[in-house]
Chains A and B, each alone.
Chain A
């Protein structure tokens, strides 16, 4: 063993900075990383397989458990794919509410990221402030769906139910308060000498590498690549909203931080516009074959009761075909490719998890940097192992 030049160390799977059960095997020359191999699968539940043996309805709660920091976005992506398959038109009001809720979810997810990343880097204060605002966002989501993290509120053909009373006023109050709060985090971090010293120039990813590695979301945009599914392939009426896509220049960890903070400000703009422009009208599509009737109707009409029962127990049969739908979740492009063979169960559900492909670039990112920077790099790509391992 005397002539061994490199040292191999094992980071994870139980490591506070890997945000879940991620293991990275590092090959070191002194303190410099020569090569690295991420090892995943500790949280693998076989969600794609479970999908194949459930009805379309029963698949929906599984999506909540993919990226557990943005349940609303996951619901939306799955619903868009199924709706494409069954071909229903979603009412404008439902589309706007979907946009509003997924942007609130994005703010919550980014707040979680800023807080935990600051904690990883040794700045504990931000965590307490960040979690306070995140809690306000989650309270709003709880108000509409009944659950903080697993909403299951966006359903095929629209929404589960109408927004609760007073929701818009509360959302408005939060949106008014948030820009000031984000300013507060910025005073704590953006120009902080230690923060800049720890993050600037650390683990950069060039634009070309980011594209060919399939990286999406804030990590891609920090490298200066203009790609956001909301602008590139608008879904759910995003074309009606006026917002900008923040871009970075160097693609280092500091740029990823800046991009996420700017994105939160854009999300606030979108929520504000959705509140202002929210149209009146139904929240469910007029498609009796796929969309269950309202609760009141079920209580009064025998036919509606039977239809509800049949939909919930047997499920529905979409026509044969394939559909791919993707959204911009807080981590990047989240896509669902669903193959239907005309039965109640999907033949194949493919989930394109953004974190999985983002993690694929980690070896490239940390090559040649120091061990201490691995924590910064893993934190900066904002991985959620629930989504990577499926």
Chain B
């Protein structure tokens, strides 16, 4: 993962709105504007000098610092060059566009983010909750989700009419 800098440099020449941010002690990553994230991922996947054909992981971090509070992180890997880079973007409750047509792996991963953070992904083929039941309220990994409260130890009753 040490030589990922050169791939980040190539990537930042491909689309607008890409800044390379250091994240010590980890590796630097590319922070991409929400407007160009889809275009950037497209370059990552199909450009010959990048060719990141494996989506190793995709997840969200709730920074809880204003309008665009969710950081979506993509860890990409190329089977050909063995390079691994991190691409990030920020978004709010409105969500971003799906990457599941580029990497089918994103299908499950985006459903997980949707379930845990409530970030919707436009054009996702099957955007449902993945862990929690469909009629569950709230998104557990958001920072404001209560750890305890007056109802936190109540039994969860499934509404058979709705389900």
Contact = CB atoms under 8 A, between A and B. Distances in A.
Given A214-B55, A348-B62, A360 B25 contact: no
Contacts of B129: 41
B27 to A, nearest CB: 8
B107 A360 contact: yes
B-side binding surface: helix, strand, loop or mixed? loop
A233 B83 CA distance: 10
A310 interface: no
Contact of B130 (A41, A53, A347, A350): A41
B105 interface: yes
Contacts of A356: 108, 112
Interface string A55-88: 0000000000000000000000000000011010
A232 B82 contact: yes
Contacts of B126: 37
Contacts of A323: 25-26
A364 B105 CA distance: 11
A214 B126 CA distance: 18
A46 B27 CA distance: 28
Contact of B57 (A49, A85, A322, A337): A337
B26 A214 contact: no
B25 A41 contact: no
Contact of B131 (A44, A208, A321, A352): A44
B89 interface: no
User: How many interface residues does chain B have, given as a range?
Assistant: 35 or more
A364 B104 contact: yes
A356 B47 CA distance: 28
A389 B24 contact: no
Given A49-B141, A213-B104, A227-B79, A321 B55 contact: no
B147 A214 contact: no
A186 B133 CA distance: 43
Contacts of B108: 356-357, 359-360
B20 interface: no
B131 A40 contact: yes
Most buried by A among B25, B55, B145, B147: B25
A90 to B, nearest CB: 15
A389 B126 CA distance: 19
A87 B59 CA distance: 24
A44 B132 contact: yes
Contact of B84 (A40, A212, A233, A390): A233
Given A348-B61, A357-B105, A49 B140 contact: yes
A331 B140 CA distance: 27
Contacts of A321: 23-26
Contacts of B140: 46, 49
The secondary-structure label for the interface of chain A is mixed
A324 interface: yes
B127 interface: no
B131 A213 contact: no
A321 B54 CA distance: 25
Interface in B108-142: 108-109, 112, 116, 126, 129-133, 140-141
B131 A87 contact: no
Contacts of A212: 53-55, 103-105
Given A41-B131, A212-B104, A364-B104, A87 B25 contact: yes
B141 A339 contact: no
A66 to B, nearest CB: 14
A33 B54 CA distance: 27
Contacts of A324: 26-27, 75, 86
- In the complex, which of the residues A214, A322, A348, A390 has the most CB atoms of chain B within 10 Å of its own CB atom? A214
B53 A335 contact: no
B1 interface: yes
Contact of A214 (B24, B25, B86, B103): B103
A87 B25 CA distance: 8
Interface in B1-59: 1, 23-27, 53-57, 59
Contacts of A44: 131-132
Contacts of A48: 116, 141
A233 B55 contact: no
The 6 closest A-B pairs by CB, nearest first: A214-B105, A41-B131, A360-B108, A44-B131, A352-B57, A323-B26
6 contacts: A40-B131, A209-B104, A213-B104, A233-B84, A348-B61, A359-B108
Interface of A: 37, 40-41, 44, 46, 48-49, 53, 84-85, 87, 208-209, 211-214, 225, 227, 232-233, 319, 321-324, 326, 333, 335, 337, 339, 347-348, 350, 352, 356-357, 359-361, 364, 389-390
